[in-house]
Amino acid sequence: MTGDSALDAARRARELAALGADPAVDVLVIGGGVTGAGVALDAASRGLRTVLAERADLAFGTSRWSSKLVHGGLRYLASGQVGIAHESAVERGILLQRTAPHLVRALPQVVPLLPGIGGAQRALVRAGFVAGDVLRRGAGTGAATLPRSRRIAAAETLRLAPTVRRAGLRGGLQAWDGQLVDDARLVVGLARTAAAHGALVLTRVAAERGGAVLRDTLSGETLELRPRVVVNAAGVWADTVDPSISLRPSRGTHLVFDDAAFGGLGAALTVPVPGSVGRFVFALPAPHGRVYLGLTDEDAPGPVPDVPEPTDGEVDFLLGVVNTVLREPLSRGDIRGSFAGLRPLLRTEGGATADISRRHAVLVSPTGMVTVVGGKLTTYRRMAEDAVDTAVRTAGLTAGPCRTRDLPLVGAVAGAARDRLVAPQRLLERYGAEAPLVAGAGSAEQIAPGSDVTHAEFAFGISHEGALSPDDLLDRRSRVGLVAADREAALPAAEAAFG
């Protein structure tokens, strides 16, 4: 790492002033989700003078509403897209082993074999898991990092997913994939690593007029920028930045439960959707003692909201599917919260829509703006590489080669070096090598009774992670805000953290 990765309000003010004095930059990146933060890191680490403008906060958009999985690409194999599946598996390996071992861990996935799952479906899942092993090996990820898939006994299935029905349970099928400690943390880690490489990371700064103007949404002031090239990474809002493209969103919803509702889940409980082939609902162990249950896929036309809302129909669908395997059905009363995110579909010239949730698209508009849209959290690095290659070509910039394959994110640590760190386990799991620094940033007391978040984490969010308001702390630096009652209890601590 070359420079200081800490983001705070003073740095933001300094950098805005510096930009006002010298508005000529190589690359302006619009959007501080995983895509934009990845592009900023790629560009800055190639030696380009880079500015990232995010109108709200880091991970404000879709990047905080994902399933938080680092996929090996199995689902793409099912539709015959071998190249995309391989790319996903390679990127998963890079994240797990090199760039973010502190943020991504191996997660067992279990399909319980109950009478409702027919022989054909079982054979299909088994074949898929074996194909996943081939993909993993092909991507160079060893079984020590992600174990082989296998059939497990009923007792082991129940150990991992204790609330699954015992009657008729003939064991389970188990495979492994990657899970992020939290998606918003990946975005913050990327943005801070980009800042350490010289990128100016500016939140509460909206890009207007195609990136020619930046507006500080806190002060209302504007500055005129002279970027050699603009990379539009505004996600589902990309068509408001570049009107030459047209997007149509589709909504994916998750429900939030207490971990106790699933009896202490030790794996991704994977439930086939009755009557479908290759479609599943997942219950995923999550931070703050929660379980996330997802995922739906619903057409969501109309204006793009800042915070999408799940519908009753989606709630019924998710409960209905998971209850097919549970001993005691879950009901609406068990739901503690919910969240929904939008995936973009690209409208092509003929009026049809193209699903870019699998393979991303890099488009160059008639004005020379480069838009990168679609893809996955998992493949953000490859998306960034493609976008910056295109930007460099389009604008005739002089830049080094892409370096991000071997560029660890701030806090990256694994193995013996991690074992030597002295800090509470929970902090090690969320902050990696920075855990001792976080512990030293403030008091180890909980922000509210029963919460696992400490005052030190809120203080670190402000001093190092660019949090500018209580919302940033509650909804993105931590995920306390996913349960309304927890949010209310933690609000005074978040407000007090700003003095």
Ligand X SMILES: Cc1cc2nc3c(=O)[nH]c(=O)nc-3n(C[C@H](O)[C@H](O)[C@H](O)COP(=O)(O)OP(=O)(O)OC[C@H]3O[C@@H](n4cnc5c(N)ncnc54)[C@H](O)[C@@H]3O)c2cc1C
Which residues contribute to the site for ligand X (CB under 6 A)?
Answer: 30-36, 53-56, 60-63, 65-69, 71, 206-207, 233-237, 241, 252, 295, 341-343, 375-378
Distance CA 105, CA 107 (A): 6
Q: Smallest distance from the beta carbon of 236 to ligand X, in angstroms? A: 6
**Which residues are CB-neighbours of 436 under 8 A, at least 6 positions away?**
421, 422, 423
Residue 389 Cα to chain centre, angstroms: 23
How near is the Cβ of 55 to ligand X at its closest, in Å? 4
In the bound complex, what is the minimum distance in angstroms from residue 478's beta carbon to ligand X? 18
Q: Which is nearer to ligand X, 63 or 99 (CB)?
A: 63
Q: How far is the CB of 420 from ligand X (least distance, A)?
A: 31
Q: Compute CA distances 440 → 146, 188, 424, whole Å.
A: 33, 20, 11
Q: Which residue, 206 or 315, is less far from ligand X as judged by CB? A: 206
Nearer to ligand X, 203 or 454 (CB): 203
Give yes or no for a contact between 460 and 453, defined as CB atoms under 8 angstroms apart. Answer: no
Q: Which of 131, 342, 112 is nearest to 247 (CA)?
A: 342
Which residues, in sequence order, are CB contacts of 6 under 8 Å at separation 6+?
192, 195, 463, 464
Name which of 30 and 410 has its Cβ closer to ligand X: 30
Task: In whole angstroms, give the CA distance from residue 271 to residue 273.
Answer: 6
In the bound state with ligand X, the residue whose beta carbon lies nearer, of 45 and 88, is 88
Q: Which residues of 179-189 are buried (b: 16+ CB within 10 A; e: fewer)?
A: bbbbbbbbbbb
183-196 and 34-45 are packed helices; what angle lies between their axes, rounded to 10 degrees?
Answer: 20
When the beta carbons of 172 and 252 are compared against ligand X, the nearer one is 252
Residue 7: phi and psi, rounded to 5, are -110, 130
- By beta-carbon proximity to ligand X, the closer residue of 177 and 457 is 177
User: Measured from the CB of residue 72, what is the shortest distance to ligand X in angstroms?
Assistant: 10
Our CB check for ligand X shows the closer of 34 and 200 to be 34
Instruction: State in angstroms the smallest separation of the CB of 253 from ligand X.
Output: 7
In sequence order, what are the residues at sequence separation of 6 or more whose Cβ sits closer than 8 angstroms to the Cβ of residue 304?
236, 237, 249, 342
Which residues, listed in sequence order, are joined to residue 283 by a DSSP beta bridge? 269, 293
Find, among 382, 369, 357, 344, the residue nearest to 41 by Cα: 382
Q: How far is the CB of 16 from ligand X (least distance, A)?
A: 14
At closest approach, how far in Å is the CB of 163 from ligand X? 23
